[in-house]
Structures are given as structure tokens and as C-alpha cells.
Chains A and B, each alone.
Chain A
Amino acid sequence: MPLSTQSQSEDVQDVLVANLDNARSLSNILKAITCKDHAIFTATANGLKVTVEDCKCMQANAFIQADIFQEFTLKDDIVVFQINLTVLLDCLNIFGGTPAAGVSTALRMCYRGYGYPLTLFLEEGGVVTVCKINTSEPEEPIDFEFSSSNVTNKVILLSESLKEAFSELDLTSEVLEITMSPSQPYFRLSTFGNSGNAHYDYSKDSDMMELFQCNRTQTNRYKMSLLKPSTKALAISCKVSVRTDSRGVLSLQYLVRNDDGQICFVEYFCCPDEEVEEG
């Protein structure tokens, strides 16, 4: 294993070292949050959190727990850096995106600290590629102050049922309206496009609905352009939790199972577009 024979002296200086047998586990989940180039990496003892933001109204987070990595070593309590996500994804797929069955790209990711590049060692079939990607000053991610105590409505659906709706969404509609209500229509997605409007109503008793906790009727509109990227996360997920808080901020949490059956999470936050008169 070429990766394990890297000189130990280098490791000593690195504040973050993470090894992964299959780089696809990381690239797949990072793909699900690519909507802007710049991503903030935050490593803690729990694992890695990657954050992408758009228009100060939307934030996408990918969580990769520490135990998904074969090795995950941190010298500090918290390590934060910003990096170009598109470049990182290109590097992770440097041996080609879809390798033959049984062949996987191994990854060793090292970061020496503030001002240093992120170094990737990628190995496939005995060939090692070393990539160094410059890091930049991390921006402060937006805190949506979304706390579970403030959640008004929450539903958990099997992703399968939402995939159909999202693939059929009328993209001529500027907004996606989400209605959650303890009475009919329970959970509704609406679009208002050039040729008319469309509603997708999910019954609360559906076997696609794993959990239905709605306390109050809420209707909020979200910019289609901001929510559309979440389709990528939906596509690889098996369950999705849709929550709104009292201000109408939307949280979409996707449970993603990777190739090895391990579980990762992707979370989207989105601010409502405008006030909609209720009733």
C-alpha cells in the first residue's frame, strides 16, 4: 500500500490527516452540494463538514462522519479552510469518475494548517497522483439559527416519492411553494409557471410518509433557482426530512447511504422568498 508508506515525519506537521479507501464516498456526497465553487471545510473530532452558500439565502452542508474515514486525525479541536470545490472534485475523479468494478481510488488527504495547500494523494492500481489545491481564508458561514425547538412542521418522506415530483417540476416557475398543514392538503409542493400551476399533494397516511408532525398551516415560497441544486442530494438519498421553523426557514435533510452502506447526511437551509398571506 503506497499510501501507508508515506513518510511519517510529514504527518507530524499536518493538522488534518484523513484516509479513505474509496474516494467515491467523498466525491459523491460533495457532488450533491456543488452549486457554487467555494466550499468551507470544517473538521472536528466528529468528522468533516463541507459548506457551500448561495446568495446568502441558501446553504448546503455535507456531513461525513469521522468513522467513515479509515483514518481521521486532528491536531487541533477544529480546522477550517476554504477551497474550490470544483477543483477538488476534479482531483478526486482524476482516475476517471466511474472505475471498473472492484477497482477503487484510495485517498489520503493532508492539511498542514493556515496558508498551506490541501494535499491529496490518490492511488489506483499502484499509480499515485499528488494534488495540491490552494486554500483560502475561510468565510464565516451563515448561521440560520435553525433550532429543532423552533420547528413548526416536520415530515420525513422516502426520497423516491419526492424524486418524481422534483424531476417533473415546472422550471418556468420562479418559486417552489411548500405548504405543510395538520389538515388537508397536509404536504403540498406547488409551482406557478407560464402555462399554469401545478400541485403535488402527499397524503399524511401514505406509506411514503415516514413521519408527519405538523402543528400549524404554513405556506412559504422558495426560489426555484436556490432549491434546484438540492435535487442532486435527493437523487442519491434514501430519505428526506423536510422541516420549517416559525420564520419559514426551510431545512431539508437527506440521508445518504454510500457504496459501503455507511450513512452520511446532506442538509440544505433556504430562506423563504417572501411573506405569503396565510389562509
Chain B
Amino acid sequence: MQCVVTGGNVKVLGKAVHSLSRIGDELYVEPQEEGLALRSVNSSRSAYASFLFAPLFFSRYSIPRGLNFRCKLAIKSVQTVFRSLATLEKTVEKCHIGLDEQKDRLTFTLHCKHGLLKTHNLSYQDSESLEAVFDKDSCANVFRAQPRVLVDTVVHFPTSLEEVTLTLSDERMWVRNHVEDEAERSKAVLTELCLAADEFDHFDIKLHNSITFCLKEFRGLLLFAESTGLPVTMYLDEPGSPVVLSVTDSVLEGNFVLATLSDDHYLRQSNRGADAEQTRPPDDFMNDDMDAYLIAMDSSVAPGPSTADPPSLAAFRKPPAPNYRTRTYSEEEEDGEEDPERPPDKKFRSLFFGSVLPPSPRRSSQPFTTQEVLASDSEEDEAEAD
């Protein structure tokens, strides 16, 4: 396996590694015919990210025919190779990635200015192919924005904030900080931004709803998008099904798949019905009449999309995550066997991975029926506590 990256692409590769480091502790490397895939997943498997660098991204890309090699490395050690992104652009002329199967080492060689040669021989572990199953084309809501627009949006939220909620309508998108439960809600600072459809390059919303997902990983992708200047496309569907963020270029593709908070749809149907549609206030912003706009501003607390926040979300407690650290793909299915007395460890649904599934891409909705039960437990706990 021989990959050679030159010039500005070294920095792009470095940025990709840094942005993957926001997801998980391990970097999965998979050289394929169609390019070099770099992937990562977080410990609770609720976030997954993948970059595919096409052969044209490299000034040389050759893998032996029929090479079936996959490995994972500690992402920290790969970050060391691309330590300072600022100097990377100035000093590195060429980056060579090679595989030494005898010694089980993946070698990164950086040819720098002034004849300095940096060689990193990193040990790796063999691994299964890591691939999340998602089908972004079937998502009801799609929008594309310049990275700047999104960076300027998330900059208003503190770094300590874990999740944001996007609320979508035909003409607008609201972004606000997600607050865990009602008690906190009265104390917390609520921040809400509204972006009009014309801020986006593309805005196609079929389903009006609110989606809550983690901000940290979102920021990870923005880090990459901003430095490469590539527009970010977001694919969203119903609450609970994953959101896909993607950046594409002629020579690379990056997909971040993030779990979203379920709004407990099935359970709450009886008392809420098609909640998202019903509780949603009429969009005051729809009329482009200035007065209406001002009224909306005045009374922003009441009719804003915040009220659409279904109270059931509060049932999802903070996950004491560590349990999931050691999990493997197949354990996903054992989730149902968990102690029913215990509240669920995670509030986000894990993404389902390809290694235990038939390779055909399909929506990962039905394996999670067991999760719903777990959610209902916590619901009851809540009720008893009250």
C-alpha cells in the first residue's frame, strides 16, 4: 500500500484526522479500491464519522489487488503526526503513508522543508470494517449551508453545552440549546437563533419537527468544513433517527452520522398524537410583513419553537457512559437484556453498524424497539419520583 499526499492536501488530511479525533479514540483505516477510508466512532456508538479520500486526492495511490487490510490505531498517535496544523501547511512538502505488514506498522513519512524527514511508525490492531448503516437519501429534510453560516451559528453556544435542537419549518431553521429537564429549564439560559431559508444554499424541508443531537461532534465536522471551505449538507429525518452531516468534493467525501434524541414517539402517541405538528405554533415568520415580524420578536417567548419541545424529552437522563466502552458490534442486540430496574445508560440511540448487518444499506429504525422499552422505564421512574 502506497499513498502519497502533497501540498495543501496534507493539511486536509491532517484536518480530517483532527476532526475525527472529536468523535472517538480510535482511527479506523481502510484502504479500498475507491480510496482511503478513515473512520471513527465514539465509545457509546452514538456518533460515527467517515472520510473517504478518492485516489485522485493522492498524487500516488496504489494498493495491491485484493488487499483486504483494515486496521485501527490510537487516534492520538496519528494526531501527533499532524500535530501542528499551522506549520503543516508551511513545512510539509509530501506525506507518504505506507504499510509494513512484516512489522505490523503503518508508516507516515513527512518530507519537510530544509531536508527534515519525519517518520512515524505506528502500531495498529487489525479490525473489522467499521461502517454505519445510514441512508441519507431517504431523509425528509435536507439543507446545505456554507461552513461559515454554521460556524457563526454554533459560536453562540458555550463549549460546555452538550446538545442543540434544530427545529425546521418550510422557511426557517431554529437552533437552540437543549436543556435536560424542566427543573433545569427554569434556571438555564436559553439561546435561540433563527436562520432564514435564504441563508442556505439549499433548503428542502418536508417534515416539520425538532431534532436534538450532540454539538461536540457537529463542531468536529465544522472544523474540517471551515478549513476546506466545503459546504455542509445536513440530512435529517424524524427525531430518533440519525442525522447525517456531509461534506463532498470531487476527491473526498466526509459523512458524520450522529444519533438524535428520540421524542418517544410511540409511547406518547396516545396523549400527544402527532405532537410535532400540533404543538407547533403557526410560523409567524411566514409572512414577510415587518409588523408580523416585530410581533413575533416581542412575544418570542411564547410562540417560539421552544414550546414545541416535548416534555417527554426530559425523561432521557444523562448517560453514565463508561459501560459502553467495551461493547462490540454484536452487543448492540443485547441491549434488551439489561436490568429493567435500571434507567437506561444512554439517551441516544446507538447507530447500527454494518458488520453485523447485511451490507445493503437500510434505515436503522426497527432494531431499536427494545430501546423504547428502556425509555419507558425511565419515564416511569420520573413519574414515581414526582
Given A168-B83, A195-B122, A196-B123, verify A201-B77 contact (CB < 8 Å). Answer: no
Say if the beta carbon of B115 comes within 8 Å of chain A. Answer: yes
Q: Give the residues in chain A near B119, CB-CB below 8 Å.
A: 198-201
Report the minimum CB–CB distance from A223 to chain B (whole Å): 20
Say if the beta carbon of B80 comes within 8 Å of chain A. Answer: yes
Q: Give the residues in chain A near B123, CB-CB below 8 Å.
A: 195-196
Q: Is the CB of B83 within 8 A of A201?
A: no
Say what secondary structure dominates the interface of chain A.
Answer: mixed
Q: Which of A194, A195, A198, A209 contacts B118 (CB 8 A)?
A: A198
Q: Is the CB of A195 within 8 A of B74?
A: yes
Q: Is the CB of B115 within 8 A of A196?
A: no
Report the minimum CB–CB distance from A89 to chain B (whole Å): 29
Say if the beta carbon of B138 comes within 8 Å of chain A. Answer: no
Interface, chain A (partner B; CB < 8 A): 161, 164-165, 167-168, 170, 185, 193-203, 205-209
Q: Give the residues in chain B near A165, CB-CB below 8 Å.
A: 116, 118
Q: What are the 5 closest A-B residue pairs judged by CB atoms, nearest first?
A: A203-B115, A195-B77, A206-B115, A196-B122, A201-B117
Q: Could you give, for residues 69-102 of chain B, a 1 whenever the CB lies within 8 Å of some chain A CB and a 0 otherwise?
A: 0000110110010011001000100000000000
Interface size classification for chain B: 20 to 34
Q: Give the residues in chain A near B115, CB-CB below 8 Å.
A: 202-203, 205-206, 208-209
The CA-CA distance from A194 to B105 in the complex, in Å, is: 13
The CA-CA distance from A83 to B318 in the complex, in Å, is: 54
Q: Is the CB of A168 within 8 A of B80?
A: yes
The CA-CA distance from A69 to B381 in the complex, in Å, is: 76
Interface, chain B (partner A; CB < 8 A): 73-74, 76-77, 80, 83-84, 87, 91, 105, 114-123
The CA-CA distance from A188 to B358 in the complex, in Å, is: 49
Report the minimum CB–CB distance from B14 to chain A (whole Å): 13
Say what secondary structure dominates the interface of chain B.
Answer: strand
Q: Which of A164, A207, A209 contacts B87 (CB 8 A)?
A: A164
Q: Which of A195, A200, A208 contacts B76 (CB 8 A)?
A: A195
Q: Is the CB of B120 within 8 A of A201?
A: no
The CA-CA distance from A34 to B95 in the complex, in Å, is: 37
The CA-CA distance from A206 to B114 in the complex, in Å, is: 5
Closest-by-CB residue of A relative to B81 is A198
Q: Which of A196, A200, A206 contacts B77 (CB 8 A)?
A: A196
Q: Give the residues in chain A near B87, CB-CB below 8 Å.
A: 164
The CA-CA distance from A170 to B79 in the complex, in Å, is: 11
Q: Is the CB of B77 within 8 A of A202?
A: no
| Apart from the given pairs A201-B118, A201-B119, 11 other A-B contacts in the complex at a CB distance below 8 Å | A161-B114, A164-B91, A165-B118, A167-B83, A168-B83, A195-B77, A195-B80, A198-B121, A199-B121, A208-B116, A209-B115
The CA-CA distance from A193 to B120 in the complex, in Å, is: 10
Q: Is the CB of A198 within 8 A of B120?
A: yes
Q: Give the residues in chain B near A197, CB-CB below 8 Å.
A: 120-121
The CA-CA distance from A196 to B91 in the complex, in Å, is: 23
Q: Which of B73, B80, B83, B117 contacts A200 (CB 8 A)?
A: B117
The CA-CA distance from A167 to B122 in the complex, in Å, is: 19
Closest-by-CB residue of A relative to B78 is A195
Given A164-B87, A195-B122, verify A203-B77 contact (CB < 8 Å). Answer: no
Q: Is the CB of A201 within 8 A of B116?
A: yes
Closest-by-CB residue of B relative to A168 is B83
Q: Is the CB of B73 within 8 A of A195?
A: yes
The CA-CA distance from A201 to B109 in the complex, in Å, is: 11
Q: Is the CB of A208 within 8 A of B77?
A: no
Q: Give the residues in chain B near A205, CB-CB below 8 Å.
A: 115
Q: Which of B73, B80, B114, B116 contacts A170 (CB 8 A)?
A: B80
Q: Is the CB of A161 within 8 A of B118?
A: no
The CA-CA distance from A267 to B123 in the complex, in Å, is: 36
Query: Could you name 8 residue pairs across A and B whose Cβ atoms are closer than 8 Å?
Result: A167-B83, A170-B77, A195-B76, A196-B123, A200-B119, A201-B116, A208-B114, A208-B115
Q: Is the CB of B80 within 8 A of A206?
A: no
Q: Which of B77, B80, B116 contacts A161 (CB 8 A)?
A: B116
Closest-by-CB residue of B relative to A162 is B116
Q: Give the residues in chain B near A208, CB-CB below 8 Å.
A: 114-116
Q: Is the CB of B120 within 8 A of A196?
A: yes
Q: Which of B73, B83, B116, B122 contacts A206 (CB 8 A)?
A: B116
Q: Give the residues in chain B near A196, CB-CB below 8 Å.
A: 77, 105, 120-123
Q: Give the residues in chain A near B73, CB-CB below 8 Å.
A: 195
Report the minimum CB–CB distance from B75 to chain A (whole Å): 10
Closest-by-CB residue of A relative to B117 is A201
Closest-by-CB residue of B relative to A170 is B80
Report the minimum CB–CB distance from A228 to chain B (whole Å): 16
Report the minimum CB–CB distance from A39 to chain B (whole Å): 33
The CA-CA distance from A200 to B87 in the complex, in Å, is: 16
Q: Give the residues in chain B near A194, CB-CB below 8 Å.
A: 74, 77
The CA-CA distance from A206 to B112 in the complex, in Å, is: 11
Q: Give the residues in chain B near A198, CB-CB below 8 Å.
A: 80, 118-121
The CA-CA distance from A3 to B263 in the complex, in Å, is: 75
The CA-CA distance from A197 to B114 in the complex, in Å, is: 22
The CA-CA distance from A170 to B115 in the complex, in Å, is: 21
The CA-CA distance from A208 to B91 in the complex, in Å, is: 13
Report the minimum CB–CB distance from B117 to chain A (whole Å): 4
The CA-CA distance from A97 to B123 in the complex, in Å, is: 44
Report the minimum CB–CB distance from B72 to chain A (whole Å): 12
The CA-CA distance from A197 to B116 in the complex, in Å, is: 17
Q: Give the residues in chain B near A167, CB-CB below 8 Å.
A: 83-84
The CA-CA distance from A242 to B6 in the complex, in Å, is: 32
Q: Counting chain B CB atoms within 10 Å of each CB, which of A161, A194, A196 scores highest?
A: A196
